[in-house]
Amino acid sequence: MSNFDKTPGWLDWYAGPSKPRLQLPAGAVDAHCHVFGPGGRFPYAPERKYTPCDASHEQLFALRDHLGFARNVIVQATCHGADNSALLDALAHSDGRARGVATVRRSVSDAELERMHALGVRGVRFNFVRRLVDFTPKDELMEIAGRIHRLGWHVVVYFEAADLPDLWDFFTALPTPVVVDHMGRPDVRQPVDGPEFSRFIRLMAEHPNVWSKVSCPERLSVAGPPALNGEAAPYRDVLPFARRLVETFPDRVLWGTDWPHPNLKDHMPDDGLLVDFIAGIAPTAQQRQALLVTNPMRLYWPEAA
């Protein structure tokens, strides 16, 4: 049980998700998900911007099995700040079936980075979304990127599409693979060929080390309909954006549930229907094999790929 009071209006993750109709390829990876606490064991960070419901690794791994995934990539959630204890505990209990993306400060020791590596961390997350984190100076981030590069890790970045012009020079100077969360958060009311998304496509086209997660339709959708009550065609407004990335960069896209879906305001999706959404963004078996198996394995389990 948590000792924390949830942020008012907090939506808890969806209990009892449906079984996906889509048959996932063998060895599929949910490459973006989180654990929250439990707060009683792994307290939420004092500097957090929200207080979630608990979402334990046992619950995450039960969802993995229910949906038909083989593996998870667990991304440090901002409500835990740079205290990666809950993430590392989840990795330690995953039987090698989870890898992690941590958040670290400049003060992190080499010994701690090595400990995290041994437990399965393969990346760090730099977050530029102002409602989630306070600003970290770019020279600090660049120093961290240089250190983790030597371990063979990569950098995951989360930002709003409107901030990409300001962040462009920093992103393109990073020495590692750079994985963009949630397609760089496009405004899906704009055309897929419009200036905003074209800029993101150009980032990926000009920089072969940049990857994208084609995730979070439930977060990006404006017109819905939501993935609830058996809806067979949810989030139609997000589809062209995700599909464009899968078609253009089939070898540099990843997919994840984003469970337990922090900070959704409108509805909490049925994760089984979210998995079915993949059939729309990656219509061929070959695209799904790359998106769900080959690409995440190359990045997170290269020794087994």
Residue ranges that bind ligand 0GZ, judged by CB under 6 A: 77-79, 132, 181, 219, 258, 262-263
The residue (of 25 and 133) whose beta carbon lies closer to ligand 0GZ is: 133
Q: How far is the CB of 22 from ligand 0GZ (least distance, A)?
A: 22
The residue (of 55 and 292) whose beta carbon lies closer to ligand 0GZ is: 55
Residues 238-273 as b/e (b if ≥16 CB within 10 A, e otherwise) read bbbbbbbbbeebbebbbbbbbbbbbbbeebbbbbbb
The residue (of 75 and 108) whose beta carbon lies closer to ligand 0GZ is: 75
The residue (of 258 and 271) whose beta carbon lies closer to ligand 0GZ is: 258
Q: How far is the CB of 241 from ligand 0GZ (least distance, A)?
A: 16
User: Which of 258, 270, 271, 276 is flagged as catalytic?
Assistant: 258
Q: Tell me the three state secondary structure of residue 112.
A: helix
Do 93 and 76 meet the contact criterion of CB atoms below 8 Å apart? Answer: no
Q: How far is the CB of 219 from ligand 0GZ (least distance, A)?
A: 6
Run of H or E including 116: helix 110-119
Long-range contacts of 95-99 (CB under 8 A, 24+ apart): 96/120, 97/61, 97/64, 97/70, 97/71, 97/72, 98/57, 98/61, 98/71, 98/72, 98/73, 98/74, 99/71, 99/72, 99/73, 99/74, 99/300, 99/301
89 is known as an active-site residue: no
Q: How far is the CB of 131 from ligand 0GZ (least distance, A)?
A: 7
Structure tokens at 3: 């000792």
Q: How far is the CB of 206 from ligand 0GZ (least distance, A)?
A: 25
Structure tokens at 12: 């808890």
The residue (of 25 and 153) whose beta carbon lies closer to ligand 0GZ is: 153
Run of H or E including 143: helix 138-149
Which residues are known catalytic residues? 258
